[in-house]
Amino acid sequence: MNLEIIHLFVKKILMHAESGHDYWHALRVLNNAKNIASDYEGIDSEILYIAALTHDIADRKIFADNNNIEQLKSILRDNGISQQRIYFLLELIENVSFSSENGQKEKSTELQILQDADRLDAIGAIGIARAFSYGGYKKREFYNPDIPPKLNMTKEEYKKSESTTINHFYEKLLLLKDLMNTDKGKEIAIHRHEFLELFLNQFLDEWNGRK
């Protein structure tokens, strides 16, 4: 199908989304997915790319109650996408997030690519910008040395966390490098992870007046 239809749909849905989860985030995830997918043959790239664009349209961080998924299903049916492939798309969207990670080893190649594409946008320079953008959106402190990061949180604890933005680096962002699925995802993540560590070292030095 013509992906421009999906682009227009996502632009409309995410028009007022927080800037770390807006259309431009979706487009970056799509570009990451295309980059990683170039290493693979025999995958359903059309469904993968639609999933990359639409993976946040039902995110509860953004939408408390919505019918965006039903609208998406209707668009896909109207454009000849089979029910089986629609189910596959919904499975990708439902399992892409960090909080959905359950340690299962059996993931479709498309899900592995989508997870890596999304996680790459959460680290590196853009990942830092997104973290502080979301922290400001939620009116959280960007740092408080009296509030230590909480590691090994359960899925529910993670979803309810109101911790500081700097703690978010330790509770999630610094963990993503080792959760990458694909060779290309791992390769890109190494560089972006190093940038996170460089930023944190500089931040803490400046906070403590060392530099």
Q: What is the pLDDT of residues 117-143, one digit of tens each?
A: 999 999 999 999 999 999 999 999 999
DSSP 8-state class, residue 211 = -
Whole-angstrom distance, CA of residue 88 vs CA of residue 118: 18
Whether residue 19 contacts residue 100, with contact meaning beta carbons closer than 8 Å, is answered with: no
pLDDT digits (tens, 9 = 90+) for 50-99: 999 999 998 766 665 568 999 999 999 999 999 999 999 999 999 998 76
pTM for the predicted model, two decimal places? 0.91
DSSP one-letter code for 60: T
- 2, burial (CB in 10 Å: exposed 0-12, middle 13-18, buried 19+): exposed
Residue 115 has pLDDT above 60, yes or no: yes
Residue 5, exposed/middle/buried by CB under 10 A (0-12, 13-18, 19+)?
middle
> Domains of the chain, with CATH numbers?
3-207 (1.10.3210.50)
Among 116, 121, 131, residue whose Cα is nearest residue 182 = 116
- Percentage of the chain lying above the pLDDT 90 cut: 81
Average pLDDT over residues 152-163: 74
Q: Are the C-beta atoms of 199 and 128 separated by less than 8 Å?
A: yes
Q: At what angle do helices 183-207 and 109-120 cross, to 10 degrees?
A: 20
Q: What are the structure tokens assigned to 166, written together? A: 């700097």
Distance of CA 101 to the CA centre of its chain: 12
Mean pLDDT for 177-205 is 97
Residues in the chain: 211
